[in-house]
Structure 1
Amino acid sequence: MEYLLELAASPTAWVALATLIVMEIVLGIDNLIFISILTNKLPEQHRQKARRIGIGMALILRLGLLSTIAFIVQLTEPVIDILGHAFSWKDMILVAGGLFLLWKATTEIHHSMDPAPEDPKSATSTVTLGFAAAIGQILMLDMVFSIDSIITAVGMTEHLPIMIIAVVVSVLVMLLAADPLAKFINDNPTVVMLALGFLIMIGMTLIAEGFGAHVPKGYVYAAMAFSATIEGLNMMSRRAKQRKVAAQA
């Protein structure tokens, strides 16, 4: 208790908490975009449930990993050498997660451009398998993003209570933003393609970091913000044209 009171009275601890919360929220954007796109492929009545399960599992994974910080830190130690390059467990997890994101985003782009006709006879089984598959894929990416998130937290502060509060706050923000973001993506098909492009970029970033090439997150998010701004201007232009056509009609 005395330790917590000392932290609460420390300005440095509050600055570290605020910084880590912002960092965790930014890192959670990638996770949230993936969950939104994936759950939007489900029937409407299952989407919110899948999003809440996915984000809930993200919180459980992050808190579980925080309880094994000593083990998480060891994930950065080299365990295998391939062609003169040493890989740690973290590196291999990042590469696997990046490859999965590339595969998933490319597959979704293909389905968006050339959707396969659905068989109405198998609609019930498709819903069940689709929900289970969605949860499984969300869980896999939750693991990748959670490990990256916790390693970032460990590198920014040594105080476990600060890490726990930052993780809980960031996941709550994800939970609040999940439904509006998913609805926005679903209502704007061009945004879906942009978000899938983001996932490809994030996947390549994970692979690059797995191979030891550090990519500053600021560059990645600056590119995402620029693309989102351009798309926002395009959406405003399309709506203005629609209003003009409606007024003329």
Structure 2
Amino acid sequence: MIELLSSPEAWAALLTLTALEIVLGIDNVIFLSVIVSRIPPAQAKRARQIGLALALIFRILLLSILVWLIGLTTPVFTVKEFAFSWRDVILIGGGLFLIAKATHEIHGEVEAREPEETSTSKTSAFFWIIVQIIIIDLVFSLDSIITAIGMAKDLEIMIAAVIIACYIMYVSSGPVARFVVEHPTTKMLALAFLVLIGVALVADGFHFHIPRAYIYFAIAFSALVELFNVLARRNRSKPGR
């Protein structure tokens, strides 16, 4: 461990892997911000804390069982010319879940449905949100760790990068979630992002890789345009304009 602290290569690997984990964690933050927007703020904060804690736990557990994890990429069955591994099955299932969830939420926004505010419905909604967070955390964690395995040789560096990235995700998730709640139009944009991410996961499962740089550029460009729209609406709503 002391040798790693004095190794420039180890620090370079840590910085690179941390940056990669932060970028790969964007999907997690968007999903959390959208999914907790329909529950009360106190429950939303607790759901975000639970979700990000689970993301950290899943990533560390997956890193600790690297041999088993790498085995998930071994083909287990073939359909015509496509050989599928358990990783492919998980990515396809997770991608379809994201697409279905985002489509359902978009339909709810378009129809302007409001959930009933009973204590029973609040409890069941919170429980269902945690279940969905667990499912998506597993998918994102698997994709994130398998992508990052080739970048560092030492388990300590991988765990340190994951912890730093999850902390940054935790710090940023609150402001992102508040922004989504305060500006309803951004929720529709975030849901569109989830559909896009879901399609990318399904494509990966079928061995058709969509470069993540394209997806993140589209997300960043769309978010920038929406930010300008928010600023424009705010300026137009000021007294005297």
Are residue 108 (structure 1) and residue 105 (structure 2) matched?
yes
Unaligned runs of at least 5 residues, structure 1: none
Are residue 166 (structure 1) and residue 161 (structure 2) matched?
yes
Q: Could you say which residue in structure 1 is the equivalent of 2:202?
A: 207
Q: Could you say which residue in structure 1 is the equivalent of 2:193?
A: 198
The Cα shift of 1:45 comes to 2.3
- The CA RMSD measured in Å over matched residues stands at 1.1
Residue type at the aligned position of 1:226 = F
Select the residue among 138, 144, 150 that pairs with 1:155: 150
Question: SS state of the match for residue 247, structure 1?
Answer: coil
d(CA) in 2 for partners of 1:100, 1:32: 17
Q: Could you say which residue in structure 2 is the equivalent of 1:60?
A: 57
d(CA) in 2 for partners of 1:119, 1:214: 41
Question: SS state of the match for residue 14, structure 1?
Answer: helix
d(CA) in 2 for partners of 1:175, 1:67: 22
TM-score, normalization: structure 2? 0.97
Question: C-alpha offsets along residues 175-230 of structure 1, whole Å, 9 cap, x if unaligned?
Answer: 11111110011101111011001000000000000000111111110111111111
d(CA) in 1 for partners of 2:173, 2:229: 23
The Cα shift of 1:117 comes to 5.0
d(CA) in 2 for partners of 1:119, 1:170: 36
TM-score, normalization: structure 1? 0.94
Select the residue among 18, 22, 46 that pairs with 2:19: 22
Matches within 5 A, 1:16-55: 16-55=13-52
Structure 1 runs of 4+ with >4 Å offset? 117-120
Matches within 5 A, 1:139-150: 139-150=134-145
Question: Whose Rg is larger?
Answer: 1
Query: Does 107-116 or 162-171 show the bigger shift?
Result: 107-116
Residue correspondences, number: 241
Question: C-alpha offsets along residues 44-79 of structure 1, whole Å, 9 cap, x if unaligned?
Answer: 221111110111111111111111000001111111
d(CA) in 1 for partners of 2:40, 2:221: 32
d(CA) in 2 for partners of 1:110, 1:118: 14
Are residue 175 (structure 1) and residue 170 (structure 2) matched?
yes
The Cα shift of 1:39 comes to 1.1
Select the residue among 117, 127, 141 that pairs with 1:132: 127
Question: SS state of the match for residue 78, structure 2?
Answer: strand
Select the residue among 229, 232, 247 that pairs with 2:240: 247
Question: SS state of the match for residue 205, structure 1?
Answer: helix
Unaligned runs of at least 5 residues, structure 2: none
Question: C-alpha offsets along residues 119-161 of structure 1, whole Å, 9 cap, x if unaligned?
Answer: 56xx111001100000000000000000011112212111101
d(CA) in 2 for partners of 1:205, 1:133: 25
Residue type at the aligned position of 1:247 = G
